Structure 1
């Protein structure tokens, strides 16, 4: 028997509740590889799955946790053998398939990647889906021409998980980083990660009637969406790109096509869930080389399985700064 965070649903009321319970290997879903989980983390999707589900969870009882890192314990696939260190992000694990909030997990071999050289399992979960997504966004911007010296790169939702890692990576690569935050108390934190400019959220989250404003940003990692993304599109420099990674400010986009037509602005969609294996390896390799580990350590908020119900509600309320690292064995 081992510990896991199990979410139950009351069929009569429809309400869910989450708590640490003991389960066995027989309870785990089918998969070719069994992993002794060491660390997991907390993302916005995890908050939904710990709480009401947000339409992501198909069946109860359920074990959330869309990320985990640990050691292979048993494998029916030749690519992995007992003792191998592995990382999992995405593939709807923690949503449709039981996830990483457990001391053991069983998953498909195709969903795993080897732990990149230069990272340990704790650091990998300080990165997690949020950091992996941030790296994918930076890679996409670079693939579309972004280079240091072209001007400031905007990061919206900069104090959140994706924003924190994006700020640290961009700063480390020599970019000027303008971090947008609605929490003035996070300004020193963002500057410590590499932000050279702090932009108050209220300065940029209103829709304006003008489809184009002054050219300000050479690139943008946007975790907010909604009216803020619409506004940012009109402020991008000619030929610049926005990597859209989230919708904390809403899924609607009250924008016009004018920035695309008159300034050649690119809107790049970043999906981390179904990302092909080769690009996953590329992103994790870049994380190991381009994310400064001291900055990563500064983002970490430690947690245990028993802390997760509160952290789940906190992240939905926008009250989590940086990266939560969950020690599932603590």
Structure 2
């Protein structure tokens, strides 16, 4: 029975990333004892808390077999809106945060509606909206940061929930649990996976593909907005460049987690572990004083390797069924 259970776990999407994460932690801790210090763990968890939301934002779109190139632009626009509404309009923090999240949902709905109504590729539509949302961002800020962040927001961005675990990690945990429950238990989650698996078959079974696409993009926009808003709290400044470097990361985490780019198969746990692996790589470069620009090279290589492994697994599975 134990052997059968292990075999079942070994086939799970999250098993490989989990083993890679544990091995990496042991190896890095051996060569750099400071890696496991309380401060270093806190820094690592802060990065994971934000980046996981970015990864989830892209993951939900990959689930329907599409991609969202505007994830970073939406997150950046919502971050600027959050900071600007507090500094310029003097809105209370909860109101500014809700409006910021609402802007993210609106941006996602616009993406989904344009894709559904026009039938144009999500790649083209979100490439266009990336430019639009970024242009609005720069038009609002004139490329200048917002510095008037309330003390309560700054305090939350630097607060610890318990031990070395930052308070910023709590929203991420809630989102991860919510996404897992939605995809595995709720009808809309199953509709999303069904559309990604076979859009035509989903339509014939009575699923409104247009509605599912719009909902998926709305969720993606909400998660990107959440990441941008929390990043303002972490940085304690409304920086117009927020989100500019999210694109590669947003794809790296789900793909490392075994997501099928053609849609229909994603894993919340494996995507989270993909984020952890990326954070560990970044941390290693800092600890060992390696050129940080190599992060992009490593991420690109990881994406290629993960796509290759996924393709090999699918090929073997097809041959095995034959």
Same topology, TM > 0.5: no
Judging by fraction of residues, say which structure has more strand: 1
Higher helix share: 2
